[in-house]
Structure 1
Amino acid sequence: MKRPIHYCKSWSRAKKKPTELWPAGKAEAAHLHRQPYTALVGSAERPYCFVDVAANVVVVGFLDSMLRESLTYAFKEVEAGKLFMTMAVHRDFEADTDSVTGGVTYLFDRSGTMRIRREYFRPHRAETAAASCDPAPLYDMRPEFGQYDDIIRVERQ
């Protein structure tokens, strides 16, 4: 099922709403000129996720039922039109609050090295590890305007 897409200047994580909704034409012009804009996938008020598109970076923020950013993927353009996921962050929240209790950050490099940092905030402690991974699934193409289905895939195997 194709989800509707809405456009805006950005998604306010603190206010949990779009800043300055834009008509598609304005967002498309920003896309063509490699200027920043945000695509909201699903509803403008309760999106499934948002896609921040800028000159050389694309960030996807997946939202939970309380509009908290529970999962984030950051991609960097490494060749013309070719993206590589450099980071993934998963956050845990305290019950029905916006208070982050901990999370895991994965940093990837193109050679297949993965660094993992698990953090707990009450009390604060952190664990780090390194591992190898197949970097092939971490590549993606820079999305065409309005075509975000591939970049918003949660599973990247």
Structure 2
Amino acid sequence: MGTSTIDLPVFYCAGWFRAKRRAIDPWTEERARKAHDKGEVYTALVGDLSEPYCFLEVHLALGYVGVGFLDEGNREYLGRSFALQASGRFFMTEEDFRAFDGTTDRILKNDSYVYEPSGLVRIRRTNVSENTLETAEARIDVADFWEDPPGIGDYHGFARKDRRA
């Protein structure tokens, strides 16, 4: 079972600055709630303001939720994108796994998965250090890739790591 995020605190901000590995313009929950209710973009940090477990970029007006899981150096080693579907639920459309060179930001490997609700997955495996690229397609069970629209502060479904088919 993956890490439970239900009991972790949630903080809000204008965004997560990936290059500097920090929150941009911390917000109050009230400000985030107003943005959420209007469908405007905001970022939720799960776990901690300065060293979060993950961050969520929420833009409900565009039908988008992006999730970035961070390592001990606040680098995004796992990124996911969810898109709102005609059913009114969000579907995980993309997933990127990154392996870094030690404590640097240099990416050694990147595995990218693009999912379709039909179960089709397109895979791209890039090994930067060996200058190789592998591609493949497969069919998988995507039943666990769906989420209901998030409520303010209720992100544990999106913040689950245990989503592999």
State the TM-score, normalizing by the size of structure 2.
Answer: 0.92
The number of residues matched between the two structures is: 157
Q: Deviation per CA, 1:23-79, whole angstroms, max 9, x where unpaired? A: 111100000111000000011000000010002100010000010000011000003
Please state how far the C-alpha of 1:123 moved relative to its aligned partner.
Answer: 3.4
The equivalent position to 1:105 in structure 2, one of 100, 112, 119, is: 112
Partner of 2:3: none
Equivalences for 1:19-58 in 2 at 5 Å?
Answer: 19-54=24-59, 55=61, 56-58=63-65
Partner of 2:151: 144
Please state how far the C-alpha of 1:150 moved relative to its aligned partner.
Answer: 1.2
State the TM-score, normalizing by the size of structure 1.
Answer: 0.96
The equivalent position to 1:66 in structure 2, one of 70, 73, 78, is: 73
One-letter amino acid matched to 2:152:
F
Point out 4+ residue stretches in structure 1 off by more than 4 angstroms: none
One-letter amino acid matched to 1:9:
A
The equivalent position to 1:82 in structure 2, one of 64, 77, 89, is: 89
Instruction: Quote the Cα distance in structure 2 between the aligned partners of 1:123 and 1:96.
Output: 19
Partner of 1:115: 122
Secondary structure of the structure 2 residue equivalent to 1:153: coil
Equivalences for 1:114-133 in 2 at 5 Å?
Answer: 114-133=121-140
Instruction: Quote the Cα distance in structure 1 between the aligned partners of 2:106 and 2:153.
Output: 33
Instruction: Quote the Cα distance in structure 2 between the aligned partners of 1:70 and 1:8.
Output: 21
One-letter amino acid matched to 1:114:
V
- Unmatched segments (≥5 aa) in structure 1: none
- Unmatched segments (≥5 aa) in structure 2: 1-5
Asked if residue 12 in structure 1 is aligned to residue 17 in structure 2, the reply is yes
One-letter amino acid matched to 2:93:
T
One-letter amino acid matched to 2:55:
F
One-letter amino acid matched to 1:11:
W
One-letter amino acid matched to 2:10:
I
Percent identity of paired positions between Structure 1 and Structure 2: 38
One-letter amino acid matched to 1:137:
D
Greater relative contact order (Cα 8 A, min sep 6): structure 1 or 2? 2
